[in-house]
């Protein structure tokens, strides 16, 4: 008989078996909707749309890490030999993560990964997810010692990243010819899911000086790489805050009325301009305005509608 594989190996195999690259999420969701309609005679609600496969490399890598962490926890706490026998311990595991002080977003990621591994809706675990309060978000909001060190080493690159607001994997492939002649826009950016967009550059003069200082020409990459030590979420947050405030100030100066946007799960009563959030969201490569508020904007009076 072959050697028994440990739980971590089993979990990794279960989750990677669901990885199907090359399929568009939109097409997969449409297929799920059609199958649901054939079976139930009605269109599914948002919570009933469950895409069974993992479609992106980034999600696959994240989910592998999460399910292996769950497998290590199970091996320490419960005497089971197979991951199929550990399905009933998920709520206990998530409660242990919550007790350790993990952020709500991290809990959601862990729950989603394990639910994907078992091919069941996450609500079946019986774990009540705590409310998400944007004020409690910490990702990219604290200045760490390594951030100060990276600023000294790569300050010019970081400032450009703050001016263009791109994700790491979006910034690295950019070539000089994608930058418009006036340095105010960058075109042909390939984002998540293969979606293509163009973005506004907040500081065209800064970008121009960077390109000229590096003697970059057509065909050259803007960056050879974006170091892992650079806090990209922080640069994107700076981009979002600066753009939102500038758009809002321009609107006030023109005497235009703001279109208020109310957060549903915030609980603070703060109001944000929906039109401005949409513009910032599109530049960041997101589909929902809520993400901008919850993950990128600071929570002071300066960002609320007047």
**pLDDT tens column, 132-160:** 655 555 555 566 667 778 888 888 999 99
The model's pLDDT over 17-52, given as tens digits with 9 standing for 90+, comes to 999 887 777 788 888 888 888 888 888 886 677 788
Instruction: Give percent above pLDDT 70 in the chain.
Output: 87
**225 touches 172 (CB < 8 A):** yes
Whether pLDDT at 238 is above 60 = yes
CATH numbers and ranges of domains, the chain: 7-19+54-130 (1.10.150), 145-303 (no CATH)
- Categorize the per-residue pLDDT at 295 as very low, low, confident or very high, splitting at 50, 70 and 90: confident
Of residues 223 and 259, which shows the higher confidence score? 223
Whether pLDDT at 210 is above 80 = yes
- Strand locations in 133-204, DSSP E? 185-190, 196-200
Work out the number of other CB atoms within 10 angstroms of the CB of residue 194: 10
Tell me the C-alpha distance between 15 and 68, whole Å.
Answer: 10
| Residue linked to tokens 């997101």 | 286
- pLDDT score of 269: 66
Closest to 32 (Cα-Cα) out of 87, 287, 23: 23
């Amino acid at each position: 008989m072959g050697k028994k594989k440990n739980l971590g190996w089993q979990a990794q195999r279960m989750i990677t078996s669901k990885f199907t690259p090359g399929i568009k999420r939109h097409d997969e969701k449409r297929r799920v909707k059609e199958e649901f309609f054939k079976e139930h005679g009605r269109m599914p609600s948002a919570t009933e749309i469950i895409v069974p496969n993992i479609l992106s490399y980034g999600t696959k890598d994240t989910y592998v890490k999460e399910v292996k962490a769950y497998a290590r926890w199970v091996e320490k706490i419960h005497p089971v030999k197979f991951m199929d026998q550990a399905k009933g311990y998920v709520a206990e595991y998530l409660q242990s993560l919550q007790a350790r002080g993990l952020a709500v977003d991290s809990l959601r990621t862990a729950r989603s990964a394990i639910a994907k591994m078992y091919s069941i809706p996450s609500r079946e675990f019986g774990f009540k997810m705590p409310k998400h309060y944007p004020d409690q978000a910490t990702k990219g909001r604290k200045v760490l010692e390594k951030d100060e060190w990276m600023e000294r080493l790569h300050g010019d690159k970081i400032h450009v990243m703050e001016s263009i607001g791109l994700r790491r994997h979006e910034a690295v492939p950019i070539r000089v010819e994608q930058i418009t002649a006036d340095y105010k826009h960058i075109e042909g950016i390939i984002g998540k899911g293969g979606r293509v967009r163009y973005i506004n550059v907040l500081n065209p003069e800064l970008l121009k000086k960077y390109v000229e200082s590096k003697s970059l020409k057509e065909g050259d990459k803007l960056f050879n790489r974006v170091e892992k030590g650079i806090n990209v979420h922080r640069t994107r947050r700076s981009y979002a805050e600066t753009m939102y405030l500038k758009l809002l100030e321009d609107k006030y100066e023109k005497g235009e009325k703001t279109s208020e946007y109310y957060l549903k799960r915030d609980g603070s009563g703060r109001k944000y301009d929906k039109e401005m959030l949409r513009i910032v969201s599109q530049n960041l490569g997101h589909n929902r305005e809520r993400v901008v508020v919850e993950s990128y904007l600071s929570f002071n009076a300066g960002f609320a509608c007047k």
